[in-house]
Structure 1
C-alpha cells in the first residue's frame, strides 16, 4: 500500500514529531508509516486522513485490484 503521509505532513509544515503529537502516537510510528514499514490501524488511518481533511483513500492508495 502506498501512502502520501509525508507529502501532506510536509505540506502542513509539520515535523514527524508534531504529527505524532497531534495523533497521539510516537514519532517512530509516523516514520514507520511514511517508510512503508507499518500499515496503520483503521482508526489511526481515519484520524490521519481527518487531520489533513482527506478521505482515507486519498492518503492511502491500494494498488490491488480484485479480479472479477
Structure 2
C-alpha cells in the first residue's frame, strides 16, 4: 500500500530544506532555484504517471517555475 500523500510531503520538505539554506542571504532567485531543483529531484523518486504543474505566476517573477 502506497502513501502518496507522504511522498508528496517529502517533495515539499526537500524544497523547503534547500530554500532555507538561502534564508537571510538576500538572494530570492537562488533560494527559488534551489527549491525548484530539490523539488524536481524529489518528484523523480515518486512513481507516478502524470504532469506536475507548479508555479507562483508572474507576481513573484520566478522564471524557473
TM-score by length of 2: 0.30
The structure that is strand-richer by fraction is: 1
Higher relative contact order (CA 8 A, sep 6+): 1
TM-score by length of 1: 0.29
